[in-house]
Amino acid sequence: MNKFKVSHEVPFSLLEWSREFNDYDYCLPHLLDESEEYRNFFYTSKKMGRYIVMDNSLHELGKPYDESRLSFWLHELEPNEFIVPDYWMDSTRTLVTAKEWISKKYPKNTTPVAVVQGKLESDAYNCYHILRNIGYQKIAFSYGADWYAEGVKHPNPYMAKALGRIKFISKLYDIGIIKDNDRVHLLGCNVPQEFGWYSDMPFIESIDTSNPIMAALDGVEYQGNGLEIKPKANMNNFANIDIKNINCPLVSRNVRLFRLINNIPLTKEQIKESNDFKKINT
């Protein structure tokens, strides 16, 4: 079994339920300022002792969230991990910012996490190496760098990028840049079955992806081998969707299959749900 910790970002109407299928709560800081419901959910998670990872909202906004607001929420929420500002496929700007943020004061139990970026594989290689050298104990890899697909001969562009990320990470591991005791987070995915390809890589500690939720919002049901395309739905457009307009049984099926496809243990609540279902149908 893979030991990854998993979190799926969900619309506001599914926040409470998400604690049943998420190993930790993944926070988008710009939404803390925009939504009282979202903000209160994370205050409650904090009181419950839930593990919280706070992002910088680059994927949603196209740029990192306002630095002063990031600093405010970092010290207000005191997340267990904070993904410091990074810039899409820009290793130079990402490294400059990462050097600034590694020197900042953090809450006692917060680990700063940096993201590998670059326009080319060589940029990303150097970025990872430098991030480790300047003191980051945990480093994340994004799902969508354009160059991931360049060295992979696959007709499906989503598969090509997924294979490109694992090829790059495997290369870093093979040459000893990534070691067994390193800590790695995987940001998002193109196809959900990608995470099953990281078996026997002990440094993969956590992943986050809204893929099974967004697929359900598209009306797409996971198959036994995952998906071949990336869902069109995204949190920017569906954060406020009413639960009446969500196919909750499909969400439940997709998040369950996500774990089974990737050989990740079900949560206690998912196991209970399965047992209850068996009792009803026997």
Q: What is the pLDDT of residues 7-61, one digit of tens each?
A: 999 999 999 999 999 999 999 999 999 999 999 999 999 999 999 999 999 999 9
What's the CA gap between 70 and 63, in Å, rounded?
13
Q: Any idea what DSSP says for residue 142? A: -
Helix (H, G, I), strand (E, B) or coil at 185: strand
pTM of structure: 0.95
Closest CA to 62 of 95, 85, 91: 85
Helix (H, G, I), strand (E, B) or coil at 83: strand
Locate tokens 């150097």: which residue? 126
* Domain with residues 5-280, CATH architecture: Alpha-Beta Barrel (3.20)
In angstroms, how far is CA 183 from the centroid of its own chain? 14
Contact by Cβ (8 Å): 214, 252 = no
Q: What is the pLDDT of residues 139-155, one digit of tens each?
A: 999 999 999 999 798 99
Q: Any idea what DSSP says for residue 115? A: E
Could you give the strand order of the β-sheet that contains 81-83, starting from the edge strand earlier in sequence? 5-7, 204-208, 183-187, 138-141, 111-116, 81-83, 52-54, 25-27
Residue ranges in the chain assigned as alpha helix (H): 15-18, 29-34, 36-48, 58-61, 67-77, 91-102, 121-133, 157-174, 211-217, 235-238, 248-261, 268-280
- What is residue 153's predicted lDDT score, i.e. its pLDDT? 86
Locate tokens 């926070």: which residue? 27
- What is residue 223's predicted lDDT score, i.e. its pLDDT? 93
What's the CA gap between 226 and 228, in Å, rounded?
7
